[in-house]
Amino acid sequence: MSLNPKMRAIIGEDAVGAILDGIVLGADPSGRLTRIQVGAGELNVQAANPAKGARLRVQLLARDLIVATQPPQYLSVRNSLAGVVSTVTTDDANSDLIGIDIGGTEILARITKTATRELSIAPGLPVWALVKAVSLRARPISNASRGAG
């Protein structure tokens, strides 16, 4: 579920992004990162040994996402979510918010207007959203918080 950009007046500019519910697929071979299914993609996050099949809620801040128009390779970034641009909206005088559908789940990326223009970012464009594992926050979903948005 995406956070509404208009909420920045209440909760602050850095809170713009998405909160995603995911399912634990397991740990990477080193055991330091946990693999979580979100939308049609997979994220690697730092989490305290959740059981396979457990549900986690992950926060992706728009400011932490990088948008690529070609499949990324040879990067230290551990997370690459393939998707399609769904929306491009003005964020402020210098940046845009890019809505990206990652398989039925929407995330937001904040990029400069220059990047939007130079990369020809527009609805329908296939893209990859990149995010460092250390930028993600994951928490277990309790029964009480499942209905809370």
User: What confidence score (pLDDT) does residue 138 get?
Assistant: 86
| Inter-CA distances, 84 with 72, 122, 142, Å | 15, 9, 31
Ordered structural domains, the chain, with CATH:
5-142 (2.40.50.100)
Q: What element of type H or E holds 128?
A: strand 126-131
* R_g of the chain computed on alpha carbons: 15
Share of the chain above pLDDT 70, in %: 84
pLDDT band at 62 (very low <50, low <70, confident <90, very high): very high
pLDDT band at 147 (very low <50, low <70, confident <90, very high): very low
| Inter-CA distances, 106 with 29, 82, 91, 92, Å | 29, 12, 17, 21
pLDDT mean over 57-78: 92
Q: Which residue has the tokens 């990047």?
A: 115
